[in-house]
Amino acid sequence: MESPVLSYLREVHAELAQLRDGTPYSVGPSSAEADPDDFGIALATVDGHIYEVGTTRTDFSLQSISKPLSYGLAIADLGMEAVDAHVDVEPSGDPFNELSSNPETGRPANAMINAGAIAVASLIKGSGGRSPIQRIEHTYSEFAARKLRSNGHEYRAERARSDRNHGLAYLLSSAGVIEGDPTKALETYLRQCAVRVDTRDLAMIAATLAAGGTNPVTGAEVLPYEAVERMLSVMMTSGMYDDAGDWATSVGMPAKSGVGGGIIAVLPGQVGLAVYSPLLDKHGNSVRGAAACRRISSDLQMHFVRSARVGRSAIKSSHTIDQEPSNIRRTEEAAKVLEEHGSRALVLELTGDLFFAGTETVVRELSDLDPGADVLVVDVRDVDEVGDAGVRMIDASFAQLVHSNRRILLVDPEGVLAGVDPTSYTVFDSHDRAIAHCEQLLLERYGASSSLPRSVPVADSPVLAPLSTDDAARLAARMVPRHCADGEVIRRVGQRFGGVFFIVSGAISIIASHTDGTRFRLRTLGAGMSFGELTLGADERQETTAKAEGPVELMVLDAEGIEELEREDPALAVQLWRALSRDAYLRVDRLTRAKAARIRD
């Protein structure tokens, strides 16, 4: 089955392939070989998946798409201030080859026009045994996740037709913008323009920019985020030259075109788009390429204003704790307390990035917290990144909650909210442990002492509530006491049925395994509860491990004792199995109702 994304791109490609307007760039051997019918579209996600249709494997020259990449390299080398001293960041509204510079400083308007790109090229120096163009090739290759090279024939053809660019280089030199030989700066610029790419390369370059400078396939940080931020900002205002204003309003993505026929467009944090078609309009932009970007941006709602709208929430789930019980088996009395007061605790699960827009939805939820809510569980395990503004907003919200006597339990094993005042919350490494602690707080506040018993004689166990006092006592007399130290394994997965265990005091962890072998705590049992009986429904083999959490006192009706009970007092044995079945049913019913309530919400 073909992806609907790919099917959509095929549709767009088929429709726009009918456009025949424009003429190819006339300089260089690749231009002479360009086929007017060539047309490729590639869309790369920030996790490295590429959708492609049409002519996506045909090489062409990078040309002016090289400009933002070298601009970013210069910033990474020298820092923002040093580069700004040579090139401004103002939209020029001029064609790409305009003789444009500030009359007072001599600086070019921006790095996207030829004058600015030549100035940038002069700032890139050789290093580590590599010449300037070798460093540029290496950086471009890291963007594309494959080796890219400048084409000598293309470079020489461009140089032979570069009188205007020579004039620009010497004009910049006379103003002190270029330090050193202006001819060498021009050579570096022309060589970077002659780097050969295909449409897939451009898509990966765009996706790397969308991912903040980290290549989504290799995981390598090509350029620091600060450099990419500046690159995309200048691309948005100046990347499409004298068509930049219309592009920003109609497409709404930072973009860069090249007279080789390529265009890249970037939706930060989401995708990179690349299009190739050699037929150019009067601005030097690919006719089909520009049309494809406009169409895709509109259809897929990729305009930066729409994709970053304030309504995009960082809240994955919001529900009260009675809709999500922990894995701890509670006594009937404790369960009733939690059912009655569970709405006093809110569980908030967050996802995505916590920058201003996403965080605003979170703090609004916290501000509207029900006055009766006592405890808040905030789970940030699925949060990818938190901005400074997000930290400040959450910090202020937490402080207000604490001031109003609310308890905050934070599930943050990776420390993504480390910048928030740690005195305002209690941190947990797992969601289940936070939920269990939340229940404990509610039971301590609203439950009677009997709802949190430290010790429960086996005859008083809620599991055996259906039995009479005498029958419960007779059953207890058949059991064997067992004392377990902290950390002691009471039974292991795979062992045969070892009997039914009643917890008199202490706590037991029931541990299971994922399919990959990693272990996790399935549930926790406390005084008055039992375990072991489910083994009889699993070929008499233990499917979990039981481990003591602290000192534990047990009463055990082992397999031999059960056989004697069934032989000597079958009526009492039937009552035991009925009681165990009832207990199991009540637990399943409670869990089912809680999950159903959560689904409805």
Is the pLDDT at 105 greater than 90? The verdict is no
pLDDT at 587 over 70: no
What would the pLDDT profile of 287-314 be if each residue is shown by its tens digit?
Answer: 999 999 999 988 877 888 765 443 356 8
Give the whole-angstrom CA distance, residue 505 versus residue 251: 67
Query: Residue 552 pLDDT > 90, yes or no?
Result: yes
Contact 150, 131 (CB under 8 A): no
Please say if the pLDDT value at position 121 is more than 80: yes
pLDDT of residue 145 exceeding 70, the answer is yes
Which residues contact residue 35 at a Cβ distance below 8 angstroms, ignoring those fewer than 6 apart? 55, 278
Q: What are 456-489's pLDDT values in tens digits? A: 899 888 888 889 999 999 999 999 999 999 999 9
Contact call for residues 76 and 212 (beta carbons, < 8 A): no
Give tens-digit pLDDT for 507-542: 888 888 877 777 777 777 888 888 887 655 444 567
Report pLDDT for 592.
Answer: 63
Residue 15 or residue 95, greater confidence: 15
Pairing of strands 328-329, 519-525: parallel
pLDDT at 154: 92
Tokens of 6: 């790919």
pLDDT, residue 144, reads: 98
Binned at pLDDT 50, 70 and 90, residue 72 comes out as: very high
DSSP string, 487-504: T-EEE-TTPBP--EEEEE
Task: Report the chain's terminal Cα–Cα distance, integer Å.
Answer: 34
Contact 153, 29 (CB under 8 A): yes
Tell me the C-alpha to C-alpha distance, in Å, between residue 41 and each of 277, 299, 482: 9, 15, 71
Residue 353, class by beta-carbon neighbours within 10 Å (0-12 exposed, 13-18 middle, 19+ buried)? middle
Residue 440's pLDDT is what?
Answer: 85
Domains belonging to the chain, first-starting first, are: 4-306 (3.40.710.10), 315-451 (3.30.750.24), 458-600 (2.60.120.10)
What are the tens digits of pLDDT across the range 307-360? 544 335 688 899 998 887 776 667 678 888 888 998 999 999 999 888 755 677
According to the model, what pLDDT value does residue 598 have? Answer: 47
Indicate the range of 21-25, 362-366, 371-375 predicted with least confidence: 362-366
Banded model confidence at residue 2, pLDDT cuts 50, 70, 90 = low
Q: Average pLDDT for residues 164-188, to the nearest whole number?
A: 92
DSSP type of residue 28? S
What is the chain's mean pLDDT, rounded?
Answer: 87
- The confidence score (pLDDT) of residue 307 equals 56
